[in-house]
Structure 1
Amino acid sequence: MTIKQIFLDMDGTLLNEQGTVSDDNRRTVADSVCSVTLVSARAPMEMQATIQQLALTAPQIAFNGGLIFDPQTRKPLVHHALDPKLSSNILTILAQKFPQVSVSCYDQADWYVERVDGGILHEQALTRQTPIVIQQTLAQFAQTHSLFKLMLIVDDTQTMQALKCQLDQFTGVINCQQAGNQYLEITSLRAQKAQGIMTLLESSELTLAEAAAFGDGHNDLPMLKVVGRSIAMGNAAPEVKAASQFVTLSNEDDGVAYGIKHYLD
């Protein structure tokens, strides 16, 4: 089956460790005859530079599927925000039981924090964005705002495990995904990468067999399992490689460009 649509995870996949797109990846994506959609846990503002660099015009997927938007107008096409009472409840628990954890929240347009700590400084350097420091608690803020993602940055594996156990009480109510070793991302239960790509394919009258996806993390597994052509990065987790049809080079070695050239033709 001819591939007509490519879905690309960003961090650890399209982007290198400096958070940028290599020249080879940029040229290869630009030269592809396929429509290209980024599928990321990132907010739209954190995706915009890459979208512009690649001159992408197809709808893009943010917040792990919580928001599908037009990259030219930034108009939301599909959106699944967290319930305000639910997000406020979660943020209250985090503040009480995990005060050492770096916590952020996002609406469609902005990034919000209570304080700028080491985790926030790292995220600023990676995404080249600056958060808005609010003058109230995040839990209070969440009560009156439509939030798409709560992001937790954790320094050690013991705290990460404790956080996961604490958030188990919300199983079936939220989507909680670990990204890499330090990030835990909370979105609406309806925010799923696989669901996002199926929605886009249906609107484009394409089948799953006509789609390819590249990814490296556990949150990419659902989309890699449903597309017709699945490509794991060389730096991907072992479970991701095992679930994919092909394994390309790492994100440091232009693995997206290599995969498009060798596995999609």
Structure 2
Amino acid sequence: MSTITSPRTLYVSDLDRTLLRSDGTLGQLSVELLNEVIDRGGLFTIATARSPASARKATAGLRMTLPIITYGGTVTADPVTGTAYDVRFTQPDVVTDVIRAAKDHANIEPIFFTFEDGRDWIRWDPSRMTVGVEVFLSKRGAKDRRLRPILGDDPLDVRTVHYVSILAKRPDLVAFRAENQVTMMHVAHFLSTDPGTPGLDWLEFHHPDGTKAAAVQRLRADVKAHRLVAFGDNHNDAPMFEIADEAHAVQNSVPELVAIATSVIDHHEDDAVARFIASEMAGVSRS
């Protein structure tokens, strides 16, 4: 089996609706092609809003060797064990300001992702069950080991928060973000849609150093890659696209991402990312 020659390229792909199919699984063709790339020395990893455990489960068929970028870039973890290498915590004063501001909005309630005692948790206030919180929890299921409500004897430590999500109707999110624009200046924030939550959109934010782009840049330096190629479909992939040497949007991407992409490749249902990488790598090995 031939190995990959220069240039030393790092390929980074988003997961949902980019590398994965609509049912959240990885196609068999993608598994075969990407494993061949990895086995030949290709540099491939993922950058996703999923947790390390969820990301590892979705890519279980891949023989990943590079660290995986999870929780939107706030947690970089081992691809096999899920152990966190790097966690970028949201500024505590920002978390406190958001909690205070949300109390003035009946339809706005943050969901906090924390990292404590060597593991990740999902925290929420059960006394403020908005539609968004109810939908979020219903999709997680009681078996999600991260679920941990904020209670009187188990309060939220704002110093442990690394990611915040608010699920609500877009007009409510737009108004909340505008009212808190000073606070939002100190974080990376994204307003995006998800086909899995029709009628409800997502406002997500975290430390500026916790974006996919920042995490990818750190990894690129670690592996000494000369070239960065990124793949994505949604708004939170935009910073990663902006710092990549090439950025390819799958056919089902939001228009805003397509506008800044190097090119539009095939649909995520058709193993587009894996086929693109395998084709490019084959060309490199022949040159």
Name the TM tier (shorter chain). 0.7 to 0.9
Give RMSD over aligned pairs: 2.5
Q: Which runs of 5+ in 2 are unaligned?
A: 1-5, 127-132, 195-200
1:203 Cα shift? 1.0
> After superposition, where does 1:132-143 map in structure 2 within 5 Å?
132-136=147-151, 140-143=155-158
Distance 1:119 1:16 in 2: 21
Q: Work out whether residues 231 and 250 of structure 2, in 8 Å CA contact, stay in contact via their aligned partners in 1.
A: yes
1:143-184 C-alpha deviation (Å, 9 max, x unpaired):
3x5111111112x22122213213312133111112325122
The one of 112, 123, 139 equivalent to 1:112 is 123
**Bigger Rg, structure 1 or 2:** 2
> After superposition, where does 1:25-36 map in structure 2 within 5 Å?
25-32=30-37, 33=40, 34-36=42-44
1:79-136 C-alpha deviation (Å, 9 max, x unpaired):
2101233213212322x133324532112322223346123213x27xx845424242
Which residue is equivalent to 2:198? none
Distance 2:248 2:229 in 1: 8
1:85 partnered with 2:90? no
Cα pair distance change 1:22/1:167, threshold 3 Å: farther
Distance 1:240 1:141 in 2: 35
Which residue is equivalent to 2:232? 215
Q: Work out whether residues 8 and 213 of structure 1, in 8 Å CA contact, stay in contact via their aligned partners in 2.
A: yes
1:45 Cα shift? 2.5
Which residue is equivalent to 1:43? 51
1:140 Cα shift? 4.6
Distance 1:164 1:84 in 2: 18
1:202 Cα shift? 0.8
Q: Work out whether residues 45 and 110 of structure 1, in 8 Å CA contact, stay in contact via their aligned partners in 2.
A: no
1:183 partnered with 2:199? no
Which secondary structure state, in structure 2, belongs to the residue aligned with residue 212 of structure 1? strand
Distance 2:276 2:193 in 1: 22
Distance 2:144 2:272 in 1: 26
Which residue is equivalent to 1:74? 82
Percent of pairs with identical residues: 19
Which residue is equivalent to 1:238? 255
Cα pair distance change 1:50/1:57, threshold 3 Å: farther
Cα pair distance change 1:140/1:37, threshold 3 Å: same
Cα pair distance change 1:65/1:135, threshold 3 Å: closer
Cα pair distance change 1:166/1:25, threshold 3 Å: farther
Distance 2:18 2:255 in 1: 15
Q: Which runs of 5+ in 1 are unaligned?
A: none
Cα pair distance change 1:101/1:263, threshold 3 Å: farther
Distance 2:25 2:109 in 1: 24
Aligned residues: 256
Distance 1:55 1:111 in 2: 28
Q: Which amino acid aligns with 2:265?
A: T
Which secondary structure state, in structure 1, belongs to the residue aligned with residue 191 of structure 2? strand
Q: Which amino acid aligns with 1:80?
A: R
Q: Work out whether residues 175 and 187 of structure 1, in 8 Å CA contact, stay in contact via their aligned partners in 2.
A: yes
Distance 1:196 1:234 in 2: 25
